[in-house]
Amino acid sequence: MSRVNQPDTLVSVLREIQRRLRVLESTRRTAGFAARASTVTAFQPARPEEWPSTTSAEWTPLVRLLTRPGDVLVVLDAVADDAGEVRVLVDGEPVFTGEAGRHEVAVTANAAVAELTVEARRTGATGTVRVAAFAL
């Protein structure tokens, strides 16, 4: 975008073209997801201390997402004070179980409205398991 009362330079023209391309690419990417995903995007807390957590040794639901049919990539970040596990369920059926850490889980939702749930439990003697989950 040009400055007031100054002619455009080659650099300013290139910057404007790049900006417009980024806008076009972002709308094209979201257009494909619009059929099955909400346009509302929520941020997770950045600090693990504020993530949903559990101290239970039993599976505890921490986050839930309702989605339409299709493929979804669930990105999990799980931290545990001692030791813990996380799992992803689609309509109540486990599709992934793993130790605390970073995981990318590809799931397919088949129902008209599918429920994705992330659960966690501690596997050590004491401690807390915290989870952040993102669906792409």
Residue with the larger pLDDT of the pair 97 and 30: 97
Residue 35, pLDDT score: 46
Residue 37, pLDDT score: 46
Q: How much is the CA Rg of the chain, to the nearest whole Å?
A: 21
Domains of the chain: 1-34 (no CATH), 48-135 (2.60.120.760)
Number of helices (H), then strands (E), belonging to the chain: the values are: 1, 8
With beta carbons less than 8 A apart as the criterion, state whether 99 and 85 touch: yes
| 99-135 residue pLDDT tens | 988 999 898 888 788 888 899 999 888 889 999 888 8
Residue 27, pLDDT score: 64
Mean pLDDT of 28-51: 60
Indicate whether 98 pLDDT > 60. Answer: yes
Average predicted confidence (pLDDT) for the chain: 81
Judged by phi (left if over 0) then psi (alpha if -120 to 50, else beta), residue 100 lies in beta
| 40-66 residue pLDDT tens | 456 677 788 888 888 999 999 988 888
Cα(8)–Cα(14) distance, rounded to whole angstroms?
10
Question: What is the model's pTM?
Answer: 0.65
Burial of residue 123 (number of CB atoms within 10 Å: 0-12, 13-18, 19+): middle
Residue 86, pLDDT score: 92
